[in-house]
Amino acid sequence: RYSFFPGKPRWPKRKRYLTYAFVTQNNLTEEIKRVFARAFTRWSEVTPLNFTRSESLLGADIVIGFFSGEHGDGEPFDGAMGTLAHASSPPTGMLHLDSDEDWLISDGGISRRISSVTSVVDLESVVVHEIGHLLGLGHSSVEDAIMFPAISGGHRKVELAKDDIEGIQHLY
Ligand code: TQI
Ligand code: ZN
């Protein structure tokens, strides 16, 4: 079953429009930005929340970036595999991804790697999971849930399960 963080933190009721911005030093392609847009849409379809991309980092509710190793938040990334990404719980919005993963970008059936290391990790799958954390969901014990804390290498799992939807609709 779904779970929440201690104290059940969530974005405040008055905030139905959340903005997200990408850190500028990453220079992400539109193709990669579309992966994030699709992942946000999966959650906005089942909640009253709306996500819009902001060109300005200042004032953005959610800041997204790829980082390698130590990157200033006390939770360094660890190279290929191990930790893939981490996100804060509401009402802080940071989504960090480990740039040392061999991220798989699936867009319209075409898959491509953006880095050169060994095991591939599907970017959209990880982003959908991390957005769940950003919105206040903890891990789920239901194996086919997005919030289940395991995913097989190269596997794509992007559709919210009934359990994810029930969890997020309990919060929003
Ligand atoms: N990062 C962990 C995660 O997002 C960070 C974490 C560990 C965590 N314990 C936690 C977050 C407890 C909230 C509460 O789960 S990760 C997956 C998996 C990771 C793991 O890099 O290990 C996904 C990121 F395991 F589900 F596949 C994304 Cl999808
Ligand atoms: Zn998780």
Residue spans of the domains in the chain: they are 17-167
Q: Tell me what pLDDT residue 117 has.
A: 45
Distance of CA 136 from the midpoint of ligand 2 (Å): 11
Atom of ligand 1 lying closest to residue 133 CA: 13
Residue 130 a catalytic site member = yes
Nearest CA to ligand 1 atom 7: 86
Cα-to-centroid distance, 80 and ligand 2 (Å): 17
User: Angle CA(73)–CA(160)–CA(154) in degrees, nearest 5?
Assistant: 65
Identify which of 88, 65, 73 has the alpha carbon closest to the alpha carbon of residue 10: 88
Tell me what pLDDT residue 155 has: 80
CB–CB of 134/143 below 8 Å? no
Residue that is written with structure tokens 């609709």 in the block: 169
**Confidence (pLDDT) at 53:** 97
- Does any ligand 1 atom lie closer than 6 A to the CB of residue 153? no
Over the chain, what is the mean pLDDT? Answer: 92
Name the pairing type of β-strands 120-122 and 62-67.
Answer: unpaired
pLDDT score, position 100: 93
Rounded to whole angstroms, the Cα distance separating 69 from 78 reads 6
Which of 5, 77, 125, 126 for mutating ligand 1's site (highest number of atoms within 8 Å of CB)? Answer: 126
What number does the ligand 1 atom closest to the CA of 83 have?
Answer: 21
Q: Report the DSSP pairing between strands 94-98 and 62-67.
A: parallel
pLDDT tens digits along 53-73: 999 999 999 999 999 999 999
Q: What is the pTM of this model?
A: 0.95
Which residue of the set 130, 143, 159, 166 is catalytic?
130
Report, as an integer, the average pLDDT of 134-154: 92
Are 106 and 97 in contact by the 8 Å Cβ rule? The answer is no
User: What pLDDT does 19 receive?
Assistant: 98
| pLDDT tens digits along 74-104 | 999 999 889 999 999 999 999 999 999 989 9
Probe residue for ligand 1, chosen from 66, 101, 121, 133 as the CB with the greatest number of ligand atoms within 8 Å: 133
Distance (Å, rounded) from C-alpha 125 to C-alpha 134? 14
One CATH from 2.40.10.10, 3.90.180.10, 3.40.390.10, 3.40.718.10 for 17-167: 3.40.390.10
